[in-house]
Structure 1
Amino acid sequence: MADFAGATCAPVTLAVVVLPIPHSLRINIDTVPKTSIHRGFTLNSLQGKTAHHNPHPEPPSPQPSAGSTMRAMTGLAERLPHVAAFPEALGTGLLLHTDVALDDGLSNCIDMFISTYEAALSRFKDDSTVGRMRTATHGGTFDFPDWALGLFGLYDQLFASTNGTIDPCVGEDLIRLGYDESYSFTPAPDAAEHAGAIHGRAVWSADVERHGTTLITHSPVALDFGACGKGYLVDLLAGMLGDGAGHPQPIQYVIDAGGDLLVHTDEPITIALEDPADPANAVGTVEISHGAFCASSPSRRHWSDAAGHQLHHLLNAIDGLPVDDVAATWVAVTPPSSAITTKTSTHGSNASTTANRDTDDSSNTVAAHVPVTLADGLATALFTTPATQLRAHFPFECAILNANRTAAQSPNFPGGFFYTLMYEIISITSSGAFPRVDRWVAPPQSATLTAPLGEGSRV
């Protein structure tokens, strides 16, 4: 997947079901048998707390305390007994579950690369390359590492496929809204008057000239790669596992970056879908054995302005304001079986061996080589862009929980909502009407892993 020679160490229809999810019908994760569930990985956020004015979440821990709401991950712990924790990664932490122990050299290499990654892409570091772009009065030429090519390429595709609603130049809007490098969460008084492309903020396609991994600007530009950056790190680390694990057989692993998961196991992992209204509850489950699974929600990273309006980090880049009609999204991307350990220096030069007929070759290549990056970006894009529009460009499955507690899912989503409705594969009509469906089914009620809803990371 990744070539680390230059790194520190080496028109589609969407079948849906729309349903209200009453609070009385949600499943409490704590009622699931204690031997079959793992409650995510951030202790603080999974104890019912939000990230409201909490820029420093507790680091992940492979050994949850007895008093926390986490439960022993017996099933997964037996299958993947070795856990490497990187508690400072991107400000949210990262856990690597493997079936064989990683040698110290590889663990150190991963740790060093995480630092290298942040030194290039973090907008919270003044001395990062992104930080220098933000403070360059007259712009300049900024060279990023070769491994950043895949990230920039996907942002090109997301910008085009969302008509500009996903744009890394949204960093300026986040800063104006208070999500700045000091985590002030204090919006500028005139934030709304200057937010978004409609008010003249820089845009990725016009104000950032890209030549491979070199970005050229002519004025200060505040980039934020948070929509895809955490997922991209996971993909690059998976490449390191394939390249440097040093074992005769491919290792099994789960990389857990707090809402962004990459699963590579012989048997499926059951993942609970966290309820954005209550982290102690799940609204459904999925089963994944090979591929990426990412979640996004404003539930863990939100704050208020002086007038009491709720703000969060999931913005529409056109107007620069938080999206308020979506509560949570979940995206699954399944690459070809060989793609997890396939090396490529461009993250886009080797064509996928399995093509989705509804998408072009380049998007299938992205899914093959950077599946978590794609899932991460799409989980954000679903806040601003209809799923049918995105599925015309990318191969993925998704589930969406709207702010009004209605939900939708694509036909091959690898799971479903609890107490959902039986439905047939019926296309969304051009008017957006949905068929009437009224037959209830009972959900499975166990999970080995929770997909915590993502919060803002340090990129």
Structure 2
Amino acid sequence: MASWRFEAIGTQWEIETTEPLPESARAAVTAEIDRFDREWSRFRADSEVVRLGREGGGFASADARPMLDAYRGLSAATGGAVNPLVADSLAALGYDADYSLVPGDPVRAPGAWEQDVSWTDTDVTASAPALIDVGALGKGRLVDLVAAALAAVPGDLVVDAGGDIRVRGSGVRIGLEHPYDPTKAIGVVDVHDQALCASAINRRAWGSGLHHVLDARTGMPVRTWAATWAWAPETMTADAVATALFFDGGVELAAMWNVEWVRMSTDGRVQRSPGCPAELFVTAGPSHPSGRN
């Protein structure tokens, strides 16, 4: 397999193909990533979502409908714990556009976010200034877009954006990294013509107990679950469920969306979905929610 590695949207990418990608394919990938970043990155001063956060109004994007429809489902399933207006909560704890990592007082995200944000197939609108964060599923959406941009490339394809992985063709064996020891895995899984997404509190962590997975209702990081993994035909769906599994309601959402999963708690307990395809090296407990965040 030929490999193309590069940095984009704050993470390491690797695209593997049967034959090296031609320059035209690389250019298409670069253009798609840049477009998405210019529209949806809250870390770029010139992005559309940052402008929405300053001024309100709207902008055109074909990503608005799929992502915000999914956020509606995430928010409903988790009782509002997952919310696209959590950006100010993240910034308050130091995960801001400047990566200051200097925590202040927690800020709760607006609960009735759908009263402030509306969307269609072609655009998104904020009735008042509202900074949108698509971190719960945006990277997965972009992986799907990159895979689509490479649809005409023959042979096998693996798109890996910092652990959000989409596979086309021959299966890939992937380890499930232990959240407290990156040199170890809690299991392995063969991924074939589908996506695998992982999320963990040891990634994008700073300060004392601070990390990027926040409960929008409190503005504070989750405490019960340490890591999640989810499998789905589309990367955005797997990414969304991997986020939802940190909260009550995530298991039910996974079942509704036909997503298989594994999650590990902060005290080392492991749960899995009934049809989970992974081979685990640890004993899995019951596949139902336990504990609260």
Residue of structure 1 in register with 2:59 after alignment: 143
Q: Which deviates more, 385-394 or 151-160?
A: 385-394
Amino acid in the other structure paired with 1:196: R
Residue of structure 2 in register with 1:128 after alignment: 47
Distance (whole Å) between structure 2 residues aligned to residue 323 and residue 225 of structure 1: 18
Q: Are 1:263 and 1:289, in contact at CA under 8 Å, matched by a contact in 2?
A: yes
Matched ranges for 1:59-70 at <5 A: none
Q: Summarize deviations over 1:33-80 as a string: whole Å, max 9, x none.
A: xxxxxxxxxxxxxxxxxxxxxxxxxxxxxxxxxxxxxxxxxxxxxxxx
Residue of structure 1 in register with 2:201 after alignment: 298
Q: How far off its partner does 1:172 sit?
A: 0.9
Distance (whole Å) between structure 1 residues aligned to residue 249 and residue 280 of structure 2: 20
Q: How far off its partner does 1:290 sit?
A: 1.6
Q: Summarize deviations over 1:167-226 as a string: whole Å, max 9, x none.
A: 1100110011110000001122xx23xx224xxx36432211223342222322111111
3-state SS of paired residue (1:281): strand
1:162 aligns with 2:78: yes
Distance 1:178 1:168, change over 3 A: same
3-state SS of paired residue (2:150): helix
Aligned residues: 291
Q: How far off its partner does 1:263 sit?
A: 1.2
Q: Are 1:152 and 1:213, in contact at CA under 8 Å, matched by a contact in 2?
A: no
1:228 aligns with 2:137: yes
Q: How far off its partner does 1:264 sit?
A: 1.4
Q: Summarize deviations over 1:245-283 as a string: whole Å, max 9, x none.
A: 2x4xxx2111111110111123x3211111111111111
Residue of structure 1 in register with 2:240 after alignment: 377
Amino acid in the other structure paired with 2:267: N
1:412 aligns with 2:281: no
Aligned match of 2:183 in 248, 258, 280? Answer: 280
Q: How far off its partner does 1:159 sit?
A: 2.0
Amino acid in the other structure paired with 2:29: I
Amino acid in the other structure paired with 1:300: R
Distance (whole Å) between structure 2 residues aligned to residue 378 and residue 103 of structure 1: 34
1:205 aligns with 2:68: no
Runs ≥4 residues deviating over 6 A: none
RMSD across aligned positions (CA): 2.0
Aligned match of 1:319 in 218, 243, 247? Answer: 218
1:176 aligns with 2:88: no
Matched ranges for 1:221-260 at <5 A: 221-242=130-151, 244-245=152-153, 247=154, 251-260=155-164
Q: How far off its partner does 1:113 sit?
A: 1.5
Amino acid in the other structure paired with 1:281: K
Matched ranges for 1:439-454 at <5 A: none
- Segments of 5+ residues of structure 1 without an aligned counterpart are 1-80, 336-370, 434-459
Distance (whole Å) between structure 2 residues aligned to residue 183 and residue 123 of structure 1: 11
Aligned match of 2:261 in 395, 398, 409? Answer: 398
1:116 aligns with 2:116: no
Distance 1:232 1:401, change over 3 A: same
Amino acid in the other structure paired with 1:176: A
Q: Summarize deviations over 1:100-153 as a string: whole Å, max 9, x none.
A: 2221111111112211110000000111001101111xx22x123224432222
Q: Percent identity?
A: 35
Q: Summarize deviations over 1:277-325 as a string: whole Å, max 9, x none.
A: 1111111111111201010001021112xxxx41111011111210011
Q: How far off its partner does 1:386 sit?
A: 3.6
Residue of structure 2 in register with 1:355 after alignment: none
3-state SS of paired residue (2:252): helix
Distance 1:173 1:387, change over 3 A: closer
Tell me the TM-score normalized by structure 2: 0.92
Distance (whole Å) between structure 2 residues aligned to residue 388 and residue 226 of structure 1: 20
Q: How far off its partner does 1:419 sit?
A: 4.0
The structure where strand makes up a greater share of residues is 2
Tell me the TM-score normalized by structure 1: 0.60
